[in-house]
Amino acid sequence: MKINEEKIQQCLQSAAQRSESEIWEILTKARKLEGLEADDVAALCSISDPDLLGELFRTAREVKDEIYGRRLVLFTPLYVSNLCKNDCAYCAFRSSNRDLNRRALTMDEIAAETSALVDEGHKRVLLVAGEAYPRDGFDYILRAIDTVYSVKRGSGEIRRVNVNVAPLEEVDFKRLKQHNIGTYQIFQETYHRETYAKVHLRGAKTDFDWRLEAMDRAIAAGIDDVGIGVLFGLADWRFELLALQQHIHHLEKRFGIGPHTISVPRLEPATGADLASNPPNPVSDLAFRKIVAILRLMVPYTGIIMSTRETADIRRETFALGVSQISAGSRTNPGGYSSADKKAAAQFSLGDVRSLDEVVADVARLGYIPSFCTGCYRLGRTGADFMDLAKPGEIKRHCAPNGLSSFLEYLMDYGQPKTQETGMVSIANALETMDHEPRQRAQAMLEKIRAGRRDVFC
């Protein structure tokens, strides 16, 4: 696949000429949940009028609500290694950062990290590694995944391991698939080829096309849940959105499925990586909110992931605009959950350092349902099967009850007393607003959890 930069520049130039009434038409079209054309996306990027901005945000809220309701899926990253052969100018793990304390966790250490996460109540992790492996090569990652799944703590366990590792050959993607992963995630970082070359200085990651085509190889190998993303702050964010759209269209055209998730990290300071503190194309908070809102309208059925790079305030604002998954209680250093030195060798600075329980309580207080559900992937509702259910709105019949049941399980097993109190109110409120059939299903599932059953999903 190729990113057509010329077409993007043309779209951005002509966007300035779009009238106010045309913007209103685009927003009306977006409410039909059918996505947007490149010209529409460019036009929305150009909005600066406060009334139109307000309407953009209002439309994004409506679409978010229509498709995802009040659920927010929670996960946390599990960094197993900070070894890396690449030299990315924005990352603390870059090979030229000689001061970094390098380590790849042993399997015992990975089990200890997993135990710490399970004991907090996590059910989903994103396993992350720098782009180099210890002596056993890629097998290290496969053993790490198996180790995470093997940890059982009473009824607590990790039920879905998503993976963010270097782009692989198709044959290794096939092996990854056999180890029962959820989503394979990799970010292009920037789709702007010239910027990409400037910030990726050494190692395999200098190959723009090898990275861009990673998802083609992954899907061809049978991994039908893939996650893409941009590191905002490297190139013009408007260019990145239009390039993301081209990437998505390419995958849809070739395989009939788009990405399961899009991540929207913004550059944050990282030790030994000055560029991270001085982004070449800084993204203001307002522009960041626009990015989330436009993505919500551009790809209504694709999950949007917000990490703990952002502050609690920004995270709260973007939940309503379109975010559907958040990380919580995160550490970005290998060993960060179970070792004493929780600050050593982190990949970047965190804006939200609250514990999982604090985030859960906050999210519930705002009227959302924190969901730990892993049902779809375990029932094989992935890729095209997931989209077939998601597009006519069918998936809500599963997600809403599953979200409530997994939330109650969390509250009963791990919630602090105050969180339990807030959470029970949220569950009662959510039940009240549900249609008859899903409410009955949810009530039956909640009853099973109260009676001591765990891992109840439909």
The footprint of ligand SF4 (CB under 6 A) covers: 84, 86, 88, 91, 93-94, 130-131, 205
> Cα separation of 219 and 367, whole Å?
36
The answer to whether the beta carbons of residues 361 and 75 sit under 8 Å apart is no
Nearer to ligand SF4, 81 or 245 (CB): 81
Q: Considering beta carbons, is residue 275 or 304 the nearer one to ligand SF4?
A: 275
Least Å distance, CB 62 to ligand SF4, is: 36
Residue carrying the six token digits 């209680």:
329
What CA–CA distance (Å, rounded) separates 344 from 197? 29
Kind and range of the H or E element at 441? helix 436-450
Torsion angle of the four alpha carbons 427, 415, 181, 350, in this order, in degrees rounded to the nearest 10: 110
Q: Which is nearer to ligand SF4, 31 or 202 (CB)?
A: 202
Cβ nearer to ligand SF4, comparing 11 with 88:
88
**Rounded to the nearest whole angstrom, what is the least distance from the CB of residue 3 to ligand SF4 in the complex?**
20
Shortest CB 130 distance to ligand SF4, Å: 4
Residue 201's DSSP bridge partners are none
Residue pair 228/215 in contact (Cβ under 8 Å)? The answer is yes
In the Cβ-directed half-sphere of 414, how many Cα atoms lie within 13 Å? 25
- The two structure tokens encoding residue 85: 């052969």
Q: Report, in Å, the least distance between residue 335 CB and ligand SF4.
A: 16
Which CB atom, from 209 or from 388, has the smaller least distance to ligand SF4?
209
Q: Which is nearer to ligand SF4, 56 or 267 (CB)?
A: 267
* CA–CA separation, 77 and 102 (whole Å): 18
**Residue nearer to ligand SF4 on the CB measure, 118 or 215:** 215
- CA angle at 258 for the pair 175 and 348, rounded to the nearest 5°: 70
Give the nearest distance from C-beta 87 to ligand SF4 in angstroms: 6
130/227 with CB nearer ligand SF4: 130
* Smallest separation (angstroms) from ligand SF4 to the CB of 258: 24
Q: Judge whether 270 and 276 are in contact, CB under 8 Å.
A: yes
Q: How far is the CB of 152 from ligand SF4 (least distance, A)?
A: 30
In the bound state with ligand SF4, the residue whose beta carbon lies nearer, of 133 and 173, is 133
Q: Which is nearer to ligand SF4, 92 or 110 (CB)?
A: 92
Let me know how long the chain is.
Answer: 458
Q: How far is the CB of 131 from ligand SF4 (least distance, A)?
A: 4
**Minimum CB distance to ligand SF4, residue 133 (Å):** 12
Q: Which is nearer to ligand SF4, 15 or 83 (CB)?
A: 83
Residue with Cβ nearer ligand SF4 (160 or 205): 205
Q: How far is CA 131 from CA 138, 190, 282, in A?
A: 10, 17, 26
**Least spacing, CB of residue 352 vs ligand SF4, in Å:** 20
Strands (DSSP E) along 25-70, which ranges?
none
Rounded distance between C-alpha atoms, residue 303 and residue 322, angstroms: 8
Residue 174: count of CB within 10 angstroms of its CB: 16
Give which of 95, 99, 115 is closest to 107, Cα–Cα: 115
SS3 163: strand
Q: How far is the CB of 250 from ligand SF4 (least distance, A)?
A: 23
Range 451-458, long-range pairs (CB < 8 A, 24+ positions): 454/155, 454/409, 454/413, 455/155, 455/159, 455/409, 456/405, 456/409, 457/373, 457/374, 457/375, 457/378, 457/379, 457/398, 457/402, 457/405, 457/406, 458/375, 458/398, 458/401, 458/402
For the bound state, the minimum distance from the C-beta of residue 169 to ligand SF4, rounded and expressed in Å, comes to 17
